[in-house]
Structure 1
């Protein structure tokens, strides 16, 4: 379950209530994404709070953008979170889709490439391995709880990006806009082949989609409202055109059937993205997950 971090008017009480519900429910992971020029919470600060608010659930960034951070400081922050959470951190990384976020923090949009991200991951892994990245007295700590650092997932929707990440990632943290399971399975096959060619264990295969659970037309209208707000960098007429087929809206029974179809193609995990901060949305999905 993803936190509703892109919804308006959030406060600590709402985020804490969501985190605790997810931790108590039969979800595998608690996820959240990163944006800069938006009013969502800052991702690493939120990670520290989630480490304290939860005890069981895996904490998954979906996704952080390394190019928006100094790689040594990012490695130190993530190692600290891995320590605070008792080794429950998984780090999804991506290049991001908005130049405005790069410009807001003084990052060069020309670094919005998979090669640049891989270079920064290499620095982070050196830090987590206890290597000195400069001629310092001591290496950068603290050491992560997980040897070698947290599991890394690549945020991707395409085969080229997937193949490129096989050298450093442990799996995928993808997104499906139209819930085309055949296309998703093709991407999973690309990942399986790329990881095998790299001589690595089978990749963790995760994907995500927006959701609204309920009866009648209200859930689809909820998804549409969310997309208009979240996709504010895209002309509204384009968002309106894609909204009827983007994400998922329907009943509990329909969601249960859909998740089973994802399981059938070998999906290890689905990261559901809420389109409203109403905690009842998470409760209703928890009932579906408990019955899978």
Structure 2
């Protein structure tokens, strides 16, 4: 099972340091979350900078709020980042749970699920090199692979899990490990029902903080602030010891996860080395 690293958002200027350290370690992917009404860096711009500062590690949105982006421009931006990075982009998309992100850009929160169902086929059509419509020709650049960047869907609702089988390459679960098993199995069932060949890529996520007490407290404050508006509706957990992290990784492996993202919330880049040591 592969292990990736979710990047903190509190200090954008430090992220290239995180990226360079992670690129020399055991991690396979670096992920970055997406919000509009929050003090976080825009993910596609940031991941482009990270891709330029690294040579092998993948870059991933975890997850991009696709209904807030115009689909054609999103397809072009992602294909560009994919080409520049040498095919290292994984586009994780979802719909989000906070109405203020939609209010900020004048988008309808209530129709966000239907809107992402419209975005996905546009991405696939443009990436495949087909004409955009009967009046507009193909839109480049061509991504590294013919089907486009790897496309993961996040979410918990039945509609989100069906989207994986219809348009995606796999599924990204931000749920605790004990809730992720049923989600993985549902995604696999939908995949078979849709007649897809092979199997979906399954990715889990674990919030972590390793280091001195001040690092752990920094992480707890950051994650508490980020999820404050969802208090009572979202199960927020964080592993802070080597034993907790190793045990949870084993549980994800037993569920058949292909990769687990260790999402860091404290801004201390020394966590990269501590986590790398934990994995060896």
TM-score scaled to structure 2, two decimals? 0.90
2:6–2:261 CA contact under 8 A, matched in 1: yes
Describe the SS at the equivalent of 1:250.
Answer: coil
- Asked if 1:78 is matched to 2:75, the reply is no
Describe the SS at the equivalent of 1:52.
Answer: helix
Q: For 1:137 and 1:158, how far apart are their aligned partners in 2?
A: 35
Q: Deviations over 1:160-198 (max 9, x none)?
A: 42134311111111102xx342x3211111111111121
2:164–2:191 CA contact under 8 A, matched in 1: no
1:31–1:59 CA contact under 8 A, matched in 2: yes
Distance change (3 Å), C-alpha of 1:94 and 1:137 = closer
- What is aligned with 1:213? 210
- What is aligned with 1:280? 270
Describe the SS at the equivalent of 2:239.
Answer: strand
Distance change (3 Å), C-alpha of 1:137 and 1:91 = closer
2:164–2:187 CA contact under 8 A, matched in 1: no
- What is aligned with 1:202? 199
- Asked if 1:119 is matched to 2:118, the reply is yes
| Alignment length (residue pairs) | 275
1:220–1:249 CA contact under 8 A, matched in 2: no
2:6–2:262 CA contact under 8 A, matched in 1: yes
Q: For 2:85 and 2:139, how far apart are their aligned partners in 1?
A: 19
Q: Which stretch shifts more, 162-171 or 91-100? A: 162-171
- What is aligned with 1:45? 45
1:223–1:275 CA contact under 8 A, matched in 2: yes
Structure 1 unpaired stretches of 5+:
none
Describe the SS at the equivalent of 2:202.
Answer: strand
Alignment of 1:1-292 (within 5 A): 1-5=5-9, 7=10, 10-12=11-13, 14-113=14-113, 115-135=114-134, 138-176=137-175, 179-181=176-178, 183-200=179-196, 201-214=198-211, 221-234=217-230, 238=232, 246-289=236-279, 291=280
Distance change (3 Å), C-alpha of 1:209 and 1:53 = same
Distance apart, 1:232 and its partner CA: 3.7
Q: For 1:155 and 1:203, how far apart are their aligned partners in 2?
A: 13
Distance change (3 Å), C-alpha of 1:103 and 1:191 = same
Q: Which has the higher contact order (CA 8 A, sep 6+)?
A: 2
RMSD of aligned residue pairs (Cα, Å)? 2.1
2:153–2:172 CA contact under 8 A, matched in 1: yes
2:66–2:116 CA contact under 8 A, matched in 1: yes
Q: Deviations over 1:186-232 (max 9, x none)?
A: 111111111112122211111112211247x7676444312322124
Describe the SS at the equivalent of 1:25.
Answer: coil
Describe the SS at the equivalent of 1:17.
Answer: helix
Distance apart, 1:120 and its partner CA: 0.9
